[in-house]
Structure 1
Amino acid sequence: MPPLAAPKEETMSDTPNSLLYDVADGIATATLNRPEKRNALDAGILNGLRAAVQSAAQDPDVRVLVVTGAGKDFCAGADLAALEAMTGQDIMQHLGDAETLVHLFTAMRACPKPIVARVRGRALAGGCGLASACDLIVAEETAQFGYPEVNIGFVPAMVMAILRRNLGEKRALEWVLTGEILSARQAHEWGLVNRVLPGDTFDEAFAAYIKQLAARSSSAMHLTKRLLYHMDGLSFEAALRSGADVNVIARHTADCRAGVAKFLRKG
C-alpha cells in the first residue's frame, strides 16, 4: 500500500509544550514533557519530535540530538486514552494517525546527526520503539525496556522494521510475543542498549559521553550514519562499492584534511 501524503514540514515554532527543545554547545535536546502521563506519546509529542529532528538536521551548530523524557520515565508508550477516543473514526483516519510514526522514524533515520536516546525509568511499547528508533541508546541502570502490546491484543507493528535489525529475527519475535520487560543490563546484553550508566552518577556520565560524541567530526559522523543505513538490503559487493564511494568523499572533506594534517604534525 503506498504511503499517505507526507505531512507539512513542522518548525520549532509549531512545537507544543509537550515537547521541549533546546541547543547548547552543539548538542540539541528534545524532551518529552508529559511527566504526569509518563510522557505517553500523543500527536503533540510526535509532531514536536519531527520538528526537533528537522531543526537539528538543518542547524549547522548541532552535532548530536538527544531524546529524553521529563520526570521519572522516558516514555510509557502511546496515550491509550487518545487511542480509545479514536475508536469512532474510520480506517483511513487510523491509517493517517499511524503514518505519523512512519514519517517520524523515517526522518530520524535520515537525519545526518546522531540521535541518542537518554533513558531513565520505563521505556515501554511505543516508548521503547522511540528509543529503538534512535541511533544509540544510553540507559540508567534501573531503566526498563519492553513491548507489552501483546497483553492488550495490540501489535508493535512499525517498530518491527527497526527491532529485527537491532536484535535479529528470533530474539525480536520472542520478545514481542511474550511482552517480557527487560532490565537495562539485559537490554545491553541483547544489543539493544549501547551503554548502561550507574544511577548515582548518571547525569554527569551521560553529559561526558555526549560531549565526547559531539567533539567528533560532524562530516565523518554524517557519512558514517548514512552509509550504515544505506547498506540495508544491499548485496555484499554493492555494500563494498558504497563504502568505496564514501571513502573517496571522506578524503575530500575539510575535517579529514585537517585531521590528517594534525596527525602528521604530531608525528
Structure 2
Amino acid sequence: MSVISNVWDVTANTGGQLLRNAGPIVAAIAISKLLLDLWRKTLGRRRRWVRLYRRLSLGLQLDYAVELFGKAAYKASARDGEGNEVTEYVWPLATDAYLQAIVGDDSIIKRYSLTTTSRWFRPRFKMGSPGNSATFEVKLGKTSFSSLPGEPSDVYLARGASFYEYGENRYLGRPGKYADWICSYTQMGVGRLKPIPINVPADDSVSRLPGNWYVNLSDADKKTVESARAGSVVNTITVSKLPHTNPGVLSFGPRFEEVELRAH
C-alpha cells in the first residue's frame, strides 16, 4: 500500500504542478487571441480595405468588385455627361470608408472612388500610373488641396442648402493612362473643411469649372479661394474615364441624402 501511495503522491504533485504552469500559458493564449481579433477589427481591417482597393482598375467587370467587397449595399441609376445611362454602386466599408463604382450598361467599371469616413483611416495612394514622374501622393483626410502639385485641369464645385463638394481633377495624359485623377472633399467623408463661401462668384449651375476659374476674381476673392484650398483636405479620390458629369448629378463618392434615402 505504501508503494501505491507514493506513486499516487508523485503523480498528483506532478499534475498539480503542470496545472499550475498551464494557467499562465492558457492566459497568454487567450490574450493573444484577443489581440489578434482586435487587430483584425481595426488596423488589419483597414489594411485589407487598402489592399483590395488597389486591386481595382478601370475597365474591370463589376463582378470583380463584388468578388472583392461583396454585394453592394446601395444602387441607383444616373446619366453621364453624354446622356448615357450608368449605374452607381456603393459599398460601406465598415465604419472606415465608402467605395463607389460607376458602371455602364456593359457592366464595366468606368469610374470608382474611395471616401474616408474615419479619422483612423488615412491611407496613402499614388495618383497616376506608377513609375511616372507625373504621379503624386495623397493621404486621405490629411492632404490639403493647396499642397497638390501644379494647376488642376478642371475644378468641381457643388454648393447647396444641404451639401458642399469641391474637387480638383489632374488629367496626366499618358502617365495617368489617359484617365481623370480627381481629389475631392465630400460631406460623407471626414477631415478639415473651409468652404468657398457662396458670395464668391462661380457658375453653380455648371459645377465643372476650368482649372484657373478664379483668375478673374478680385484680389480679396482670390485670397478667399486660396485660404479655402489650404483649409480643406482631400477625403475622396476618384479615377475616371467617364464623360464629364455634373457632380451635382453624380457626385464623387456617395452623397449623404441619397444614401440615406436608399437605406430605407
Whichever structure has more strand as a proportion of its residues is 2
TM-score, length of structure 2 as denominator length = 0.26
Query: Structure 1 length as normaliser, TM-score?
Result: 0.26
Q: Which has the higher contact order (CA 8 A, sep 6+)?
A: 2
Larger Rg: 2
